[in-house]
Structure formats: structure tokens, C-alpha cells
Amino acid sequence: MPRRKDGEKTRDAILEGAAWLFSRKGFTNTTNADIARVCGNINTALISYYFCDKATLYRESWEFAYRDAIKKYPLDGNAPADAPPEERLRAIIHADILRRSERDSTLNGIIHAEISYPTEILTDVYEKSLASLRAVLRVVVAEMLGERATAEEQRLAVLSIFSMCIVPVEKIQTLEGMPQYTYDPEIRARHVYEFALGGLKAIKK
């Protein structure tokens, strides 16, 4: 039984194209025909052929995009656990912003689409892409703010840094009327880190 390998290429193309579309228009607003179109006018039947149905494709393309991204940019940004909190904070922010900027921000697009119109993958997306960031931030922020900070102060500080990371920059940029300026992820990551440092210092008082 001959195993052809040209199918894998098609499958991957669908995963990629679908992820991109889903990130921009969300699950329900994306049709199989749309997906077929962006994958180079392939046939819609191939979606059923490779992924059984649209919902499965959605889940798989999200997981596909996520796995890739998190491997390249792990949560802790590869900072040693015993590094000073400032360095760990820098690494977390850096990894997070770069990860969210990957692939035309497919990852972050899906997340924001899920926030607006939840589907059945919401829980998974939420855990992996929002809750996890908050959790790691919480640890370093607590350390940096010191003993005297209340739980609420910690929460607020985490929320602020979190906000700067997850803001859908690329999406907002593509909106009509938006000046054509793109932010380099490296530079933005650096900026957010410094901004956060200053903010934390001000809060600590």
C-alpha cells in the first residue's frame, strides 16, 4: 500500500491557513469556503477529508499554532529559576510578546476572538494563553513588591503587566484609519519590561 506524502503538505497548509483565518474572523465567521480560498483554492471537501469537520480543524489549528509558539518561546523565557526576579520578569515579558507576535499574531488573534465569542476550546485557550501568564507573573511580582504588598496590589500590578503583553497590537494596527506603523516585538518587549520595572517601583513606595 503506497503511502503518498503530498497529502501532508496539503494538511499543513490547511492548518496554517485556517489558523490565520480563525485568528482574524473567529470560528463561526470563518467558512470552509474561506479556508479553502486562503489555502490556494483547494477543495472544501479536503477539510472533511483531513479533519473530519470544521470544529476539529479549529481545535487542531489552534493547538498546532500554540505548540510551535510555546516551544520556541517558553513561558519562563528560559530564565533560570534562581535568577533575580527582575531578570525572570524580563524573560517572561520578552518571550510572551514575541510568542504573541509570531505568525502575524495568529495565537493572540485566536485568543481575543475567544474572549469575544467563546467556543468550546475557550477553556484550553484561556488556561494556556492567559491564566498561565498571570500565574508566572504573579510569582515574580510578589517577589518584587515584597512582603508589605497586599494581595490586591499584587493582582493589580499583574493585571497591568498582563495588559501590556496581551494587547492585540497587530490587530489594532490593521484597523482602518490606523497610521501605518509597526512595532518591532523585540523593542516593544524591552520597553514593556522597563515600563513595568518603573511601575512596580512606583507601586512599591
The residue among 200, 202, 203 whose CA lies nearest residue 90 is: 200
- In 3D, which of 182, 139, 174 has the Cα closest to residue 157? 139
Please report, as a single letter, which amino acid is at residue 156: L
Q: Which residue is associated with the grid cell 472544501?
A: 44
Nearer to DNA, 20 or 73 (CB): 20
Name the residue nearer to a second copy (CB basis): 43 or 123: 123
Q: Does 24 bind DNA (CB under 7 A)?
A: no
Contact letters (x/-) for a second copy, 24-63, by CB under 8 A? Answer: -xx-xx----------------------------------
Smallest gap, in angstroms, from Cβ of residue 115 to a second copy?
5
Determine, following the binding rule CB under 7 A, whether residue 45 of this chain makes contact with DNA.
yes
Residue 55 vs 135, nearer CB to DNA: 55
40 torsion bin: left (phi>0), alpha (psi -120 to 50), beta (else): left
CB 25 → DNA: shortest distance, Å? 10
Q: Is residue 12 at the binding interface for DNA, with CB under 7 A as the rule?
A: no
Q: What letter does residue 175 receive in the DSSP assignment?
A: S
Least Cβ distance, residue 58 to DNA (angstroms):
10
| Distance of alpha carbon 108 from alpha carbon 114, whole angstroms | 10
Query: Which among DNA, a second copy, none contacts residue 71 (Cβ within 5 to 8 A by kind)?
Result: none
105 Rama sector, left if φ>0, alpha if ψ -120 to 50, beta otherwise: left
CA distance 81 to 140: 10
Q: Which residues bind a second copy (CB under 8 A)?
A: 25-26, 28-29, 109, 112-113, 115-118, 122-123, 126-127, 130-131, 152-153, 155-157, 159-160, 162-164, 166-169, 171-172, 175-178, 181, 183, 187-188, 191-192, 194-203
